[in-house]
Amino acid sequence: MSLRLRHLWLALALWGAVHPMVYFVGWLARNGWSPGSLIDAWFANAATTGLTWDLMISAVVLTLWVLAEVAVRRNWEALWAVPATFLIGVSCGLPLYLWLRSRPV
């Protein structure tokens, strides 16, 4: 795998961590720092509910993929993608996992 592609994975992981957080933090600043209110907003209408379920299912699938590959490859560092996925989002967790997986052996 090329070094350029590996750098792209890392850049996408950073973008996936920062860009969505701008919106989350802005929303929380305007609407209060209540996790319950944020979760209510995720299910405010059919569009956001569909997107929420899409991301939750994707997070579960990514987690299972990471766990299955770590069990075989013993690339323990790749487990960092699991908390990144659930604490930040799939937009960070997936490219982070690809970056960690693509390191030279």
Query: What are the distances in angstroms from CA 32 to CA 24, 35, 72?
Result: 11, 9, 44
In degrees and rounded to multiples of 5, residue 101 shows phi and psi of -75, -30
Query: Per-residue confidence at 35, pLDDT binned at 50, 70, 90?
Result: confident
Write out pLDDT tens, residues 9-25.
999 999 999 999 999 89
Supply the range of the domain harboring residue 25.
Answer: 3-101
Query: What are the distances in angstroms from CA 12 to CA 58, 93, 99?
Result: 17, 10, 9
Spatial separation of the C-alpha atoms in residues 104 and 13, rounded to whole Å: 18
Please state the pTM of the whole predicted model. 0.90
The number of folded domains in the chain is 1
